[in-house]
Amino acid sequence: MFHSLANRVRLVALNLTRKLAQPAQGGGVTGLSLLARRSLLTSRRLGLLGRGRGLLGGTAAAGAFMWQDAGAALAHGLHTSSGLLGGAAASLFGGRLEMGLLGWLAVDLGINWAGWAVAAALKTEKFYDLLGSASFLTLTVGSLVVGGASGARKLVVSGMVAAWAVRLGTYLVTRVVKTGGDARFDDVKEQPGKFFVYWTMQAVWVFVSLLPVLCINGGRSPVPLGPLDALGMAVYGLGLTLEVVADWQKAAWKARPENKGRFIDEGLWSLSRHPNYCGEMMIWWGVFLTCAPGFGAAWQYVSVASPVVVMLLLRYVSGVPLLEEMGEKRWGTEPAFQEYKARTNLLLPLPRFKDTHVN
User: Tell me: the pLDDT tens digits for 245-279?
Assistant: 999 999 999 999 999 999 999 999 999 999 999 99
pLDDT category of residue 81 using cuts at 50, 70 and 90: very low
Domain ranges of the chain: 99-221, 223-350
Residue 109 pLDDT > 70: yes
Stated pTM of the model: 0.69
Most confident listed range (59-63, 71-75, 169-173, 327-331): 327-331
The pLDDT, as a whole number, for residue 73 is 37
SS (H, E, C) the chain: CHHHHHHHHHHHHHHHHHHHCCCCCCCCCCHHHHHHHHHHHHHHHCCCCCCCCHHHHHHHHHHHHHHHHHHHHHHHHHCCCCCHHHHHHHHHCCCCHHHHHHHHHHHHHHHHHHHHHHHHHHCCCCCHHHHHHHHHHHHHHHHHHHHCCCCHHHHHHHHHHHHHHHHHHHHHHHHHHHHCCCHHHCCCCCCHHHHHHHHHHHHHHHHHHCHHHHHHHCCCCCCCCCCCHHHHHHHHHHHHHHHHHHHHHHHHHHHCHHHCCCCCCCHHHHCECCHHHHHHHHHHHHHHHHHHHHCCCHHHHHHHHHHHHHHHHHHHHCCHHHHHHHHHHHHCCCHHHHHHHHHCECCCCCCCCCCCCCC
Phi, psi dihedrals of residue 46, rounded to the nearest 5°: -80, -5
- Cα 20 to its chain centre, rounded Å, is 35
pLDDT one-digit tens code per residue, 135-158: 999 999 999 988 877 789 999 999
304 against 7, higher pLDDT: 304
Is it the case that residue 21 has pLDDT exceeding 60? no
Average pLDDT, rounded, for the chain: 77
5-9, 79-83, 176-180, 208-212: lowest mean pLDDT where? 79-83
Per-residue pLDDT of 111-139, as tens digits, reads 999 999 998 888 888 888 889 999 999 99
Q: What is the pLDDT of residue 185?
A: 77
